[in-house]
């Protein structure tokens, strides 16, 4: 479920995370591997301050593995360890615990030196709506516990989930809001399903997707939709529309008179992208 964020919601969400931060040792920041920066909260550093942090690039099953590798490097350069995962299918989840422990190793060592039996490391998952927080919590818990859907106003009694004997995870995630101000960020969020498409026009999102696909995944789109020739000038909107029409035609989105139904074509394009039917696609690359 997607929530609409207003300043009051943001303040409340922030306060709730700050309350949770008091209880935990390490933050797990969940991002969408296809759009890591666009799926990131604009104030995340300020909110999390200096808590040790592990970045997880989720939905990597849908992202371009080469681009994801670039993102891992990008975050490493920022001093943030990052791990690509696929929470829905449980891929690479076993690597989370050792990474979290690494971030807390200095504390464990100092406790051991003092002769204290170290307790389990306490972690919190944070991220924007729909990034996969509940899916990941459920996977790590080994059962369905996290409520699906996001309601920043709803608080339950905090409970810990044991992830083996060495990690305790808060059962409710920290919900952060995405950045909306930048139109391109909005497009990426809408294209991947992080925000309601009703907030933007479907055809605009589809235009953005097609343009990006032609520019970065041209051969794939050509083969998939049997497009003879791709346009060269993708800044010319009429050229982009021609590609949309070709896709619509291939998928049978035709109205009477043989014209392509662009609304229907837009919906098909967005659905196929989200379902991974266009291949593994990343919609954002690190700027260097
Ligand atoms: P939350 O709002 O952050 O708690 O997100 P959810 O856990 O409810 O997940 C949102 C949607 O993303 C659901 O439809 C999940 O099935 C899907 N999802 C979560 N993780 C993955 C993943 O790794 N790969 C894919 N393809 N889908 C995922």
Which CATH number do you get for residue 147?
3.40.50.300
Which CATH number do you get for residue 237?
1.10.1580.10
Tell me how far apart the alpha carbons of residues 129 and 151 are, in angstroms, rounded to a whole number.
Answer: 9
Residue closest via CA to ligand 1's atom 2 equals 130
Could you list the residue range(s) of the whole structural domain that residue 252 is in?
A: 201-274
Q: Which residues contact 253 (CB under 8 A, 6 or more apart)?
A: 260, 261, 262, 264, 265, 268
What is the arithmetic mean of pLDDT over 172-197? 90
Residue 191 falls within a domain, yes or no? no
Q: Is the CB of 52 under 6 A from ligand 1?
A: no
Which helix (H) or strand (E) segment is 160 a member of? Answer: strand 160-163
What is the arithmetic mean of pLDDT over 218-235? 91
**130 and 38 housed in the same domain:** yes
What is the arithmetic mean of pLDDT over 170-187? 93
Q: Is the CB of 139 under 6 A from ligand 1?
A: no
Residue 188 falls within a domain, yes or no? no
Establish whether this prediction's ipTM goes over 0.95: yes
Tell me how far apart the alpha carbons of residues 144 and 221 are, in angstroms, rounded to a whole number.
Answer: 38
Q: Is the CB of 183 under 6 A from ligand 1?
A: no
Which helix (H) or strand (E) segment is 29 a member of? Answer: strand 26-32
- Structure tokens that stand for 229 in this block: 């020739």
Q: Is the CB of 59 under 6 A from ligand 1?
A: yes
Tell me how far apart the alpha carbons of residues 81 and 53 are, in angstroms, rounded to a whole number.
Answer: 8
DSSP string of 59-114, one letter each residue: -TTTS-HHHHHHHHHHHHHTT--EEE-BTTTTBTGGGHHHHHHHHHHHHHHHHHHT
Q: What phi and psi values does residue 287 have, to the nearest 5 degrees?
A: -85, 135
How far is the centre of ligand 1, averaged over its atoms, from the C-alpha of 136 (Å)?
A: 8
Contact 136, 31 (CB under 8 A): no
**117 and 238 housed in the same domain:** no
Q: What is the pLDDT of residues 134-165, one digit of tens each?
A: 999 999 998 655 554 444 444 456 799 999 88
Strand-pair partners of 57 = 31, 84
| Mean pLDDT of all residues belonging to the chain | 91
How many domains are contained in the chain?
Answer: 2
Q: What is the pLDDT of residues 27-47, one digit of tens each?
A: 999 999 999 999 999 999 999
Residue closest via CA to ligand 1's atom 6 equals 132
Q: Is the CB of 129 under 6 A from ligand 1?
A: yes
Residue 283 falls within a domain, yes or no? no
Q: Is the CB of 134 under 6 A from ligand 1?
A: yes
Q: Is the CB of 282 under 6 A from ligand 1?
A: no
């Amino acid at each position: 479920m997607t929530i609409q964020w207003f300043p009051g919601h943001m303040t409340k969400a922030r306060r709730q995370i700050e309350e949770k931060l008091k209880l935990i040792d390490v933050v797990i920041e969940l991002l969408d591997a296809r759009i890591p920066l666009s799926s990131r909260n604009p104030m995340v550093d300020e909110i999390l301050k200096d808590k040790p942090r592990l970045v997880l690039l989720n939905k990597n099953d849908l992202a371009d593995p080469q681009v994801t590798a670039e993102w891992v490097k990008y975050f490493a350069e920022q001093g943030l360890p990052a791990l690509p995962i696929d929470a829905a299918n449980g891929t690479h989840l076993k690597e989370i615990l050792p990474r979290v422990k690494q971030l807390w190793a200095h504390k464990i060592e100092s406790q051991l030196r003092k002769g204290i039996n170290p307790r389990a490391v306490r972690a919190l998952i944070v991220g924007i709506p729909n990034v996969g927080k509940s899916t990941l919590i459920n996977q790590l818990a080994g059962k369905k516990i996290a409520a699906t859907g996001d309601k920043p106003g709803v608080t339950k009694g905090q409970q810990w989930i044991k992830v083996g004997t060495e990690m305790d995870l808060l059962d409710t995630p920290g919900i952060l809001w995405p950045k909306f101000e930048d139109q391109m960020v909005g497009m990426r969020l809408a294209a991947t399903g992080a925000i309601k498409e009703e907030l933007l026009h479907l055809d605009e999102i589809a235009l953005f997707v097609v343009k990006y696909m032609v520019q970065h995944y041209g051969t794939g789109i050509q083969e998939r939709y049997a497009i003879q020739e791709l346009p060269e000038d993708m800044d010319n909107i009429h050229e982009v529309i021609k590609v949309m029409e070709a896709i619509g035609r291939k998928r049978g989105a035709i109205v009477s008179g043989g014209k392509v139904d662009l609304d229907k074509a837009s919906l098909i394009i967005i659905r196929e992208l989200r379902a991974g039917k266009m291949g593994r696609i990343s919609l954002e690359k690190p700027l260097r």
